[in-house]
Amino acid sequence: MSMIYLHVPFCTSRCIYCDFYSTTQSATVRHEYVNAACAELANRKSYLADRLIQSIYFGGGTPSQLQIKEIAILLDSINKHYDIDTNAEITLEANPDDVTPDFTHNLRNLGFNRVSLGVQSFNDRILKMLNRRHDAATAQDAVHTLQQAGLDNISIDLIYGLPTQLLQDFSSDLQKAFSLPIKHLSTYALSIEQGTLLQRKIQSNELAETDEDTFIAEYEIMMQQAHAHGFEHYEISNFALPGFESRHNSGYWNNTPYLGIGPGAHSFNGTDERQYNEPNLGKYISAAGLPPHTIEHLTLSDQFDEQVFTSLRTRKGLSLKNLEKRFGEAWLEDLKRAAQKHISSGSLTFNNNTLCLTRKGIMTSNDIISDLMRAE
């Protein structure tokens, strides 16, 4: 299995928390970007070594800011240069106010079978604070529009731990989410990133950081409501109805090779190398398919730590058998010693030679995972 991620860097406005690479757009710039991305797709087809592509993901930025004809050109280029599984998961991230009946029907006709909506909240006061373009009613309408067009594999994103967000606000967000015909929910704890408007507002005391107890309480409510509605907690930040887990996100956690196309996109060869395209649209367009990039070579310790980190985030957990097979028995000695105290405290389970986070352990997962890493 392998995957393609296509980064579409356009946004009409920037949310206060976002540090992803994005820029404004015009018809001319979009056209130049599409041409450059098609050229990169052609030039880098050897990166995946003729592997079958089982997931294509248009992320951003805001991919739904592209015209349908531009999305079609990009998808045609992928199909031209890569071997796509007939049952591939093909996802487009969308802003709710871009979801119209025509846009949705055209997406489905192009072959998209999954849409991820950046809802973030169903509270209009909070959406305004975040500088989101849509309101709660638009988000709910977008879900129904997608379903009516037959695009019913719908995921929505919510953020918790937001400034001014009360516990009942997030509980209400979850209730509204689970009342909609969605198949998947991604929930992200707010992080305050360098250089964002959110960071500046917190530093100036215009907004206050959320305390740890509130984060934990909101996460507990999230797990309770997801379980009550039949959603399985298959990764720390992700819930899905059975059979609707995100294949693309699961690929990241399973060390699946992927090719990242576009300015700021990352690629991974599945073992020991990552590649990072420079996050600069002007340079990306000028490079005509050979974008400036950096390459990171992963040491064995890096690879070990990545497997520990990605595996423990999932419901399947960390198989010590697989870890030993890849790295050798000696590499597991420190990990087993470090794991014992977390098993004793009830934060980890150890069954069938596999370590898994418990519900208690999820709350302190970063500390537990850090303890088990080799980090030099």
Domains defined along the chain, listed by start = 2-253 (3.20.20.70), 300-372 (1.10.10.920)
Entry pTM: 0.93
CA distances from 286 to 18, 29, 81, 133 (A): 26, 12, 22, 31
pLDDT by 10s per residue, the chain, length 376: 899 999 999 877 766 666 666 666 778 999 999 999 999 999 999 999 879 999 999 998 899 999 999 999 999 999 999 999 999 999 999 999 999 999 999 999 999 999 999 999 999 998 988 888 889 999 999 999 999 999 999 999 999 988 888 899 999 999 999 999 999 999 998 777 777 777 877 788 887 788 888 889 999 999 999 999 999 999 999 999 999 999 999 999 999 999 999 999 999 999 999 999 999 999 999 998 999 999 999 999 999 999 999 999 999 999 999 999 999 999 999 999 999 999 999 999 999 999 999 999 998 999 999 999 986 5
CA distances from 313 to 307, 308, 326 (A): 10, 9, 19
Query: In angstroms, rounded to a whole number, what is the distance separating the alpha carbons of residues 146 and 149?
Result: 5
Residue 130's nearest CA partner among 23, 21, 15 is 15
Which pLDDT score, from 0 to 100, does residue 375 have?
Answer: 62
Structure-token pair, residue 316: 């399947």
